[in-house]
Amino acid sequence: MPPPNLPDRTCLAVVLAAGESLRMCSAQPKVLHKLAGRSMLAHVLHSLAEAGTDKIVVVVGPSHAAVAAETKAIAASAEIAIQTERLGTAHAVLAARAAIAKGYDDLLIVFADTPLVRPQTFAKMRQALRGGQNAVVALGFKTSKPAGYGRFILENDALIAIREDRDASEAERTIETCNAGLMALEGNRALALLDAIGNANSQKEFYLTDVVTAARARGLNVTASIAAVDEVLGVNDRAQLADAEAILQMRLRTKAMQEGATLLDPGSVTLAFDTVLGRDVVIEPHVVFGPGVRVGEGSTVRSFSYLEGATIGTNAVIGPFARLRPGTELSQDVRIGNFVEVKASEVGAGTKINHLSYIGDATIGAKTNIGAGTIICNYDGFSKYRTEIGAHAFIGSNSALVAPVKIGEGAYIGSGSVITKDVAADALALGRARQIEKPDWASLFRHKRKEPGSSMEEPKAAGASSSGKSKDDF
C-alpha cells in the first residue's frame, strides 16, 4: 500500500548515523552493514524518499567519511552534518540546526540503524502532525516482553511521558507499549522544543525522549503512533543484523509470491532488495540472488544457483549449480546448465550452454550450442577481450576460444580445439594436434615396466623423447 500523500506539507528528515560499530566488532561503520544487498542507511534513505520527504540531513561522526559517501551515492541532494561530540540523541539532532531553522512543516527524526521502518509508517507519523493537532509524535510498538525498553505512559491516547525501564515503577513496568525512539515534530516548534531539553541526568546527556516533557510543559499535544514490532528492530550487533535480514527476506519473498512467482521452498531462497521476478517464474530451493537481477516471465532457476547483476529473458532455464555474474544478459528460451558461469555476456534466444563452461565477455547469437567444458579465454593478465559467436554456431566440447576472436554464423568448432583466429561463417575449424597411434605400444610399455631392475621412464607425450627425437621403440 502506498504511503498517504501529503502534498501540502513540507518535510525535513534528520537521520542519526553517527554511531560506532563497537558491538558489531567491525572496522566498517555500523550503518553500512548490508541487508539484502543494501546498506542499512540506504534502506532508511529510500523509505524516507518514498514517504515524501523534501530534504534529508544525515548526521555522521567526524571520522565517518564512508557514511557521508554512501549518503551522497544514494541521495545526492542530502546534506551532511557532523556531530563533533557525543552528548546524546537530542544533541545529535541539533547538529542539523541550520536545516531545522528553515521552517519545514514536519520534522522526522529517524535512526540509520533502524532500517525496516516502512514509508507508510513515516507518512502516518506526519499525518498526526497535520492541522497542528499534535506538536510531537513518538513512534512506539507493543510487545509482551517489554523489559529493557522505555515505556509509553498514555492517558486517553495522549502521551504523558516516556519512562526508561530503570526509572519505571512496578506498575509502569507492566506496560507493553514501548518506545521505538523515532519522532515527528511540528516544524515551526522543533527548535524551541529541542533547545529546551536539558542534561540533568546521570549521563549528562541530552535525551530526545525529553522532548515529550518539553512539549507538555508548553501545553502542547503529544501522541503516540504504533508500528509493528518487526519494523522498529534496532540493529546493534551481528545477531540483530541477522534478525533484521530474516524479517526483510520474508517481506521480499512474500512480495515476490504475491506478484506471481513460485518459490518452492521460500525459506531457502535469498533475495536482494531489488530482485524482480516475473509472473510464473519458478525458483527452486537454495537459490541466492545478489543485487541487480531481473527474471523474465515463465523462467525457471534451478537449485543451488547464484545470480547477480543479470537480466534473464522469458522461458529461460538456469542451473542447477549455475553462476550468473554482473553484465549477463540472456534472451528468451536460453538454457544455462549445471556448473556454467556467465559474465558480462549477451546470449541470444534459444542458445544452450548446458555443462561445465565459462563464458566471459562474449556475444553469442541465437540458437547456438556451446559444448561441455568450453572455455572463453578472455584475460591475458592485463586486459579483458571480447569473443563474438554468430547464430546457429556449434562449439564442440572441451574447446578454448582465445579472445579476441570471432566465430561466424553456422560455423563448427571441433571438440578439443584451441581457437586463436577468426572462423568464417559455415566453416569447420580444428585447432588441435593430429592424433598419433602406435600399435602395441601400451602392452610393450606394461611388459617393460614389469622387468626387474628396469629404470625406463614413462613415455613422453606424443611419443617424444627428452632429446626431442621420436621414440618408436624401447
Residue 216: burial class (beta carbons within 10 Å; 0-12, 13-18, 19+): middle
Measured on CA atoms in the order 184, 189, 190, 193, is the torsion positive or negative? negative
CA of 310: how far to CAs of 54, 219, 327, 361, in Å? Answer: 33, 57, 6, 13
CATH 2.160.10.10 residue ranges of the chain are 251-429
pLDDT for residue 21: 77
The residue among 333, 399, 417 whose CA lies nearest residue 362 is 399
> Omega before 3 cis (within 30°)?
no
The residue among 423, 417, 426 whose CA lies nearest residue 404 is 423
pLDDT for residue 1: 54
Cα dihedral 389/393/398/399 (nearest 10): -40
Query: Distance between alpha carbon 102 and the CA centroid of its chain, in Å?
Result: 35
Q: Report the CATH superfamily, name and number, of domain 251-429.
A: Hexapeptide repeat proteins (2.160.10.10)
Print burial letters for 9-23: b (CB count within 10 Å at least 16), e (below 16): bbbbbbbbbbbebee
Helices (H), 103-228: 119-127, 187-195, 211-217
* Bridge partners, residue 15, by sequence: 58, 110
DSSP code string of 261-315: -EESSGGG-B--TT-EE-TT-EE-SS-EE-SS-EE-TT-EE-TT-EE-SEEE-TT
Residues 291-331 have pLDDT tens digits of 999 999 999 999 999 999 999 999 999 999 999 999 999 99
pLDDT for residue 453: 61
Which helix (H) or strand (E) element contains residue 89? helix 89-93
The total of other beta-carbon atoms located within 10 Å of residue 48's CB is 22
CATH 3.90.550.10 residue ranges of the chain are 11-231
CA of 121: how far to CAs of 4, 118, 127, 182, 403, in Å? Answer: 9, 5, 10, 11, 54
- Spatial neighbors of 339 by CB under 8 A, at least 6 apart, are 321, 322, 355, 356
* Whole-number Å distance between alpha carbons of 275 and 282: 14
Identify the DSSP state of 464: B
Helices (H), 163-287: 187-195, 211-217, 238-258
C-alpha cell at 9: 506539507
Contact 43, 116 (CB under 8 A): yes
Catalytic residue numbers read 355
- Spatial neighbors of 446 by CB under 8 A, at least 6 apart, are none
* Whole-number Å distance between alpha carbons of 314 and 333: 6
* Strand ranges across the sheet with 310-312: 276-277, 294-295, 310-312, 328-330, 346-347, 362-364, 387-389, 405-407
pLDDT for residue 470: 42
C-alpha cell at 77: 541532494
The residue among 346, 360, 295, 288 whose CA lies nearest residue 322 is 288
pLDDT for residue 380: 92
Phi/psi for 200 (5° steps) reads -80, 70
Average pLDDT by stretches of 10, the chain with 474 residues: 70 93 89 97 97 96 92 96 90 96 96 97 94 93 92 91 88 93 96 93 87 95 95 95 98 98 98 98 98 98 98 98 98 98 98 97 98 96 96 98 98 97 97 90 88 55 43 38
Contact 149, 66 (CB under 8 A): no
C-alpha cell at 171: 506498575
The total of other beta-carbon atoms located within 10 Å of residue 201's CB is 13
Q: Which CATH class is domain 11-231?
A: alpha beta
